Amino acid sequence: MREATRKKWDLSASFYDLLAYGPERRWAAAKRALFANMEGRILFVAVGTGQDIRFFPPGRDIVGIDISPRMLAKARSRAAAYAGKLELRLMDVHSLEFPDYSFDQVVSSCTFCSVPDPVAGLKALRRVLKPGGMLYMFEHTGSRLFPFNLMLNLMTPIWKPIGPEMNRDTVANVRKAGFEIQQVNNIYLDVVKTIIATSPA
């Protein structure tokens, strides 16, 4: 497990819910719509403090992982309230402790802005995803548009020590990891997106 990443998110756990109040409220409808696709055995990557659990459709079989013990401690009460099967596990996406082809779907929410090696993390997800399995992502990325790309490049060194990188090309990273992109929808500008991809059979 990458110690620096764990420490960063342990530190953020104490104020994460406060800072996430506005974004979670604004993105609620888009997340609910994306998560409505959840079917089969699902791996939810970086469950954090469990803010997204309220958007999960009921009755699903979900394993939620996170690198931060303090984040997971906060998520436990939300997980207990979920009307379905939801197991939380401490795990680094770079070194998943699941056998190959364990999941029908993988879902992430604002995760691959922060994973230290996003392509390696996505390749690890492909390993545990069944052939033809679906990847659903709600992510913020860099922008192709000036001046938003400039703003995001300027903000990245400021935010990175306590949170995400603002200028990643996550769609390209998904392709590099070997997934086939099915759909990309812009939620805000070309910065906040939903990405739907499949693991090739």
Partner 1 sequence: MATAWLVTGIVDPAWPTPAGMLAGMLAAMGLSLLLMPVFVALFGAMEVMLPVMLTAMLAGMLLGMARAMTVFSTWEAMVAGGLIGTLTLLSTYALDASLRRRGL
- Positions touching partner 1 (CB under 8 A) are 18-23, 25-27, 140, 145, 147-148, 151-152, 154-155, 158, 171, 183-193
Contact 37, 136 (CB under 8 A): yes
With 0-12 / 13-18 / 19 or more C-beta atoms within 10 angstroms meaning exposed / middle / buried, residue 105 is buried
C-beta of 89 vs 160, nearer to partner 1: 160
Minimum CB separation of residue 76 from partner 1 in Å reads 23
Cis bond leading into 147, ω under 30°? yes
C-beta of 147 vs 161, nearer to partner 1: 147
Minimum CB separation of residue 186 from partner 1 in Å reads 5
Minimum CB separation of residue 184 from partner 1 in Å reads 4
C-beta of 95 vs 183, nearer to partner 1: 183
Q: Give dist(CA 201, CA 190) in Å, integer.
A: 29
C-beta of 127 vs 188, nearer to partner 1: 188
Of the candidates 75, 74, 128, 138, the one whose C-alpha atom is nearest the C-alpha of residue 105 is 128
DSSP 193: E
Q: Give dist(CA 103, CA 85) in Å, integer.
A: 14
Minimum CB separation of residue 41 from partner 1 in Å reads 29
